Amino acid sequence: MSARNTYTRPMAGWYTRNPYFTWYIVRELTAIFLAIYAVVMLTGLSALARGAESYAGWLNFLSSPLSILLHVLVFAAALYNAYSWFKVSPKAMPPIYRGSEKLSESAIIRGQYTAAIVLSLGILILAW
């Protein structure tokens, strides 16, 4: 008796067949840039713990063209990640009601952008 051949769905390139999945993969890949940035910041913290000379070397690295390019890429990745999460969050959260009327998705997204801008400005003012 021969073995039964079962159908195995091909998985190669599954994310390229639907633009929704392609953008999902792009959003998930932004985490790589954010993880690299976390390592850069932890390296700075480690340099600070080792002393002033080590910290000055780390600050010198931050002014290099490679570091500036990394920061631009990380900033773009963080902006796209925030945009995509703000866009999907009304679908992932329970409905919010104002009185007996359900709050629209666009109102929730606008509220998130407003909160992000206000908090970012507040942090900038505190840091200044």
Partners of 102 in the beta sheet?
97
Domain assignment of residue 128, yes or no: no
Please tell me the predicted confidence (pLDDT) of residue 4: 78
Domain assignment of residue 123, yes or no: no
Domain assignment of residue 1, yes or no: no
Domain assignment of residue 55, yes or no: yes
How does DSSP classify residue 63?
T
d(CA 119, CA 78): 16
Domain assignment of residue 20, yes or no: yes
Please tell me the predicted confidence (pLDDT) of residue 16: 78
Q: Which of 98, 120, 122, 123 is nearest to 108 (CA)?
A: 98
Please report where in the chains the tokens 């959003």 appear, as a residue: 27
Helix boundaries (H) for the chain: 19-50, 52-62, 65-92, 105-127
> Tokens standing for 88?
């999907």
Helix (H) or strand (E) holding 15: none
Please tell me the predicted confidence (pLDDT) of residue 2: 65
Q: How many structural domains compose the chain?
A: 1
Please tell me the predicted confidence (pLDDT) of residue 48: 95
CATH code of 84's domain:
1.20.1300.10
Domain assignment of residue 42, yes or no: yes
Please tell me the predicted confidence (pLDDT) of residue 1: 57
Domain assignment of residue 34, yes or no: yes
Domain range holding 29? 16-93
Please tell me the predicted confidence (pLDDT) of residue 117: 94
Domain assignment of residue 44, yes or no: yes
Consecutive sets of 10 residues in the chain, 128 residues long: mean pLDDT of each?
Answer: 76 79 87 91 96 94 92 92 89 87 91 94 96
